[in-house]
């Protein structure tokens, strides 16, 4: 998306006042934008306060740019933002069998070194009962040590799954919003 370059602090959640300061609008304007732009949907904590994520702040900045700088109408800005989000959130397709002309994405990984027997842990201040539990423990699957490459692959997969979840959530919000009665 063509989000404006803006220094957004490295935080997970932002309060509405912090977002107002970052975006440069008042709180009632942000709350109104939430009703008009389904993709701007901050979570609410237990006390009902809005908790904006970094992506919500980026979307609010883009909405402001479209409305104030580019002079779009609300409807026009909504369409433009939906198109931008659709284009920027295309998922990469991962084939189960990589094509022969491309690099093999599934790499052979050596089995990790087995852990030393439980008897080697006997001197770690365990009472007899704890030691018996430790000695009889057998994992359901062999324990594996993650190397940097596997950790990076898992992080990438997790990020893609989170992005997919957000897309599904915003799609549900749009569907629910279109089914509500208009007064």
Q: What is the CATH number of domain 1-88?
A: 1.10.1660.10
Identify any residues that bridge with 43 across adjacent strands, giving them in sequence order: 51
Q: How far apart are CA 175 and CA 154, in angstroms?
A: 31
Residue range 166-179, pLDDT digits in tens: 878 777 766 665 55
Start-end of CATH 1.10.1660.10 domains in the chain = 1-88
How long a stretch of residues is the chain? 183
How far is residue 118 from each of residues 56, 85, 95, 135, measured CA to CA in Å? Answer: 49, 53, 41, 5
pLDDT tens digits along 34-87: 999 999 999 998 898 999 999 999 999 999 999 999 999 999 999 999 998 888
Rg (CA), the chain: 25
The whole-model pTM stands at 0.48
């Amino acid at each position: 998306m063509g989000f404006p370059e803006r220094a957004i602090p490295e935080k997970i959640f932002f309060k509405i006042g912090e977002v107002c300061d970052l975006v440069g609008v008042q709180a009632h304007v942000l709350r109104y934008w939430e009703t008009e732009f389904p993709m701007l949907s901050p979570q609410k904590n237990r006390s009902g306060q809005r908790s904006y994520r970094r992506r919500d702040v980026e979307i609010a900045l883009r909405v402001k740019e479209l409305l104030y700088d580019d002079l779009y109408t609300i409807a026009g800005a909504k369409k433009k933002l939906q198109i931008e989000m659709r284009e920027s959130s295309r998922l990469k397709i991962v084939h189960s069998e990589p094509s022969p002309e491309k690099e093999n994405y599934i790499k052979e990984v050596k089995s990790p070194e087995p852990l030393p027997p439980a008897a080697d842990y006997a001197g770690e201040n365990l009472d007899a009962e704890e030691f018996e539990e430790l000695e009889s423990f057998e994992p359901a699957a062999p324990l594996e040590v993650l190397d940097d490459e596997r950790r990076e692959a898992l992080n990438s997969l997790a990020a893609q799954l989170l992005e997919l979840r957000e897309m599904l959530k915003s799609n549900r919000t749009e569907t629910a919003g279109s089914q509500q009665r208009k007064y």
